[in-house]
Chain A
Amino acid sequence: MTAGVPTEFIAPGPQSFDLPPIIPGVDWFTKPVLVAALSVVVIVWFYWAAARKSAVVPSRLQFAGELGYNFVRNSIARDAIGSAEYMKYVPYLCGLFYFILLNNVAGTIPLIQFPTFSHIGWAYVAAVMSWVIYNAAGIKKKGVWGYFKHQTMPAGVPLWLMPLMIPIEFISNILVRPISLSLRLFANMFAGHILLGVFVLGGEYMVFESGKILLGGVGIITFIMGLAIAGLELFVQSIQAYIFVVLTAQYIGSAISDEH
């Protein structure tokens, strides 16, 4: 960090996501694993503490817990699945939402600053889990053949167009849904992390390491822009968690709905 000695600037890229194991020798224990484990501990602690002393007149913590739970229960699960059957899926949706939310926001929290879902494997697993659940819910409700028919016959289409529409409906309901779920989450987290890295590391380089006064001034502006980007990222991280869970709920809802 000594000014006046120009060094080469290495821009952050995909290689920034290859993190070394935290404990040398334990290869699987990397930063995303740590962040995910921490997030689980925080969520479990929060809801345990909020529910421990349930009272009619809630404490502040209980109120916060109920607010968080009711948000997923009412404005995600009940709206998308319908008031008859939504309660079965609330535990999954609620857990999923806060898990994704915390792991995304970890990309902004100082000192942690790594969104778990920027490693695509995590996004794949979350999407496959939702995929299995909405298909299983539909098969349980309608039987294998009934569900298959339900997911491949688009409603309201004239009969002569059906043969052309069935492959579209099948591919988009069975194949594109899990892929788009995982890619949307992964790509947003990945791009956001790189973007933030470019602004912050670039600003740091220009101010401290480029050794040029003029670049230093630009670097300060870059750094301030980086802060604004961090604010934007916080928004994107929350929205992505919300979209993932809303879509999961809608897929469940459409899998078990009577009319299509």
Chain B
Amino acid sequence: MSEHQDPKPSPPNSGDGWRVLSYLIGGVLVYGGIGFGLDRLFGTEFLLPVGIVLGAGLTILMLHFRYGSRS
């Protein structure tokens, strides 16, 4: 209820969780996709899981750099 002109932000980062989720999806999508493509190229089948795990790991690392120092 902010009918008064209070400058106080009520929920500071209410959408951060959803943004983090979109990063996680993005990371898995990019590196999983690269792994999938390389699998098709070389006829192997271990690069897709490697890519997915790598993508998730890199995303977590990025989130650490981006949001970790804030609090």
Q: Using a CB–CB distance below 8 Å, which chain A residues touch chain B?
A: 66-67, 70-71, 74-75, 78-80, 83, 154-158, 161, 164-165, 167-169, 171-173, 175-177, 180, 243, 246-247, 250
Contacts and interface: CB of A to CB of B under 8 A. Distances in A.
B19 to A, nearest CB: 7
30 contacts: A66-B3, A67-B1, A70-B3, A74-B2, A78-B9, A79-B11, A83-B7, A154-B66, A155-B66, A156-B65, A156-B66, A156-B69, A157-B65, A158-B65, A161-B61, A171-B26, A172-B22, A172-B26, A172-B27, A175-B26, A175-B29, A176-B25, A177-B22, A180-B21, A180-B22, A180-B25, A243-B15, A246-B14, A247-B18, A247-B19
B58 A168 contact: yes
B15 A70 contact: no
Nearest to B34: A167
B15 A168 contact: no
A168 B30 contact: yes
Contact of A167 (B2, B30, B61): B30
Closest 3 A-B residue pairs measured CB to CB? A172-B26, A171-B26, A74-B2
Interface of B: 1-3, 7, 9-12, 14-15, 18-19, 21-23, 25-27, 29-31, 55, 58-59, 61-62, 65-66, 69
A71 B11 CA distance: 12
B15 A246 contact: yes
Interface majority SS on A: helix, strand, loop or mixed? helix
A168 B59 contact: yes
Given A83-B7, A167-B30, A168-B55, A157 B62 contact: yes
Nearest to A155: B66
Given A79-B9, A154-B66, A168-B58, A250 B26 contact: no
Contacts of A171: 26, 29-30
Contacts of B26: 168-169, 171-173, 175-176
Contacts of A243: 15, 18
B4 to A, nearest CB: 9
A79 B10 contact: yes
Contacts of A80: 15
A250 B30 contact: no
